[in-house]
Amino acid sequence: MNTRMIFTVVARIEAFTWLGLLIGMFLKYVTETTELGVWLFGRVHGFAFIVYFFVAIFAGLRLRWPWWATLLAVLASIPPLVTFPLELWYRKMGLLGAQASHDVEAKTLQNGIGE
């Protein structure tokens, strides 16, 4: 598996576990039916969060993202479900494309981002 694929898979897992945790919190605090969702997804999401944090930094370095893209990827893990749309946006921008590092530099200069 290459860096792009690893980032994609981990970003989606992180978002999925956030969703599971939110559903678990709804079941625990709103319907007061079970604590199982929070117990299970709390642990799974905690692990996914840590893995995503390091994978985002690794991907940023390996794919030569601009500093703002790496920082945004790391910060995206904090609010719920943001890593999935961020991954889609990065794919659209070319940050996860086959020629990611060259395309990013060109788009960054074109758009004036990061100057």
pLDDT tens track, the chain, 115 positions: 899 999 999 999 999 999 999 999 999 999 999 999 999 999 999 999 999 999 999 999 999 999 999 999 999 999 999 999 999 999 999 999 765 444 455 555 566 555 4
Domain count across the chain: 1
Three-state SS across the chain?
CCHHHHHHHHHHHHHHHHHHHHHHHHHHHHCCCCCHHHHHHHHHHHHHHHHHHHHHHHHHHHCCCCHHHHHHHHHCCCCCCCHHHHHHHHHHHCCCCCCHHHHHHHHHHHHCCCC
Q: pTM for the full model?
A: 0.81
